[in-house]
Every structure is written in C-alpha cells, then in structure tokens.
Amino acid sequence: MANTIDTSVLNSLNQTTGASANKASATDDLSNSFMTLLVTQLKNQDPMNPMENAEMTSQLAQINTVNGIQDLNKTLEGITSQIDAGQTLQAAALIGQGVLVPGSRVLKEGEVTTPFGVELEAPADEVTISITNDSGEVVRSFSADDIGALDAGVQSFTWDGTLQDGKTQAADGSYNVSIQASQGGEPVNVTALNYAQVGGVVTTDSGPRLDLGAISGQVGLDAVRQIL
C-alpha cells in the first residue's frame, strides 16, 4: 500500500522551514561571506608561505564570534521586548492612582489640599517647609520643631490649608512648596514632590509614559517616588 502525506501538514512544514530560514538568513549570509573569504585566501595563498594554523584558527574564531554576536542581539531584542511589555503593564495598572513625582505644586480647593512629599538624599535632623503663593509670599511655614528629624528617602505630608495662624483658610488655588534640610549644620540634598493622578499611559520610543495632566505633564515610570 502506498503511503500518503496530508498536504496541509506538508504546507505547514514548508511555512515553518521558510520562517526559520528567513530568521537565519542574515547570520548565514555573514558567515558565508567570512567562509568564502577564508577559502579564497587558502586557494590563493603562496605555496612557499602558506597560512599558519594560528592565522586560520583566528579566522574561524572570527566567524564564530560574528555568529555569537548575532545570537546575542536576538536574545537582547527578546529581553527588551519583554521589559517593554512589563513596563506597559505596570504603567497601565497605575491609571486612576495618585502618585508623588518631582514637583513643587500644591492645589487647594475648599478645605481639601493635595498631598506633597520630600525626598531626602540622606537623613536630616532639621527640615523646614514653606508654602508660598504665586507672588512668592509665604502663607504657611513649618519649622524644624514642627517636622522633626527625617530619615533618608521619601516622606509624604499634607497641609490643612490654613494660614500661619493655623485657623484661617487660605484662598483656593495653586501654591508652591520649598524645602530646606540639613544634618549637623551641613545641607542635605532634598527634592520636593507633588501629587498627581495618573490619567493614562502614552507609548513612546523610550518606553511608556504616564499622563499626569496639565500640572506634571508626562513622566516615565522612574519619576514615580510613591503611590498613594
């Protein structure tokens, strides 16, 4: 009895083989070029001064190196794609969440104010915070005694919206936060952080970016210091 092969199976095998051939074509072409060059050198070498074994070995090693680099590039491309996909999922999970990112804005509406934060490069035993209006006038300040010593890293705060007397509410609007920090009298690097809500994710060539609206614009995932 004659054996028969299902044509659909045959077509599938041909497609798989063709795809594999396409992926390997670039590497194979480069390897073939190196091999052709090596064979040409062997054919045209001076019989009285033939290529030494060490030189031939070096040529073959170069071929293997090229193949290895091509394989490494493919592996890195795959890893990069996985990282990008993971970052996009992380970014998407933040939609609707509040985050602290570098910035100095505090918004006030009624008796509600947005949180703000402090990022210290090192511990600080004296930290002062000033809240100013758009004219630069200080409307509320917090002394080192009010805040106390802080560890290195990110700390979040809220302002109750009152003026210096602690009772009268400041006018609604946008305010700025400025922070000074020191340890043993020596200044400590400090970054002010403002609150923003993630409204969406934008895909760019450099990776996903979070859309934080008009105040903070678009930032990368690395700008998020705390999720509230």
139-192 residue pLDDT tens: 999 999 999 999 999 999 999 999 999 999 999 999 999 999 999 999 999 999
Give yes or no for a contact between 45 and 37, defined as CB atoms under 8 angstroms apart: no
Give yes or no for a contact between 133 and 84, defined as CB atoms under 8 angstroms apart: no
Global pTM reads 0.63
Q: How far is CA 186 from CA 36, 108, 117, 144, in A?
A: 68, 33, 21, 14
Alpha-carbon span 209 to 224, nearest angstrom: 11
Alpha-carbon span 222 to 215, nearest angstrom: 18
Alpha-carbon span 78 to 96, nearest angstrom: 30
47-95 residue pLDDT tens: 555 555 556 567 666 666 766 777 777 777 666 666 666 677 788 888 9
Q: Which DSSP letter does residue 151 get?
A: -
pLDDT at res. 10: 40
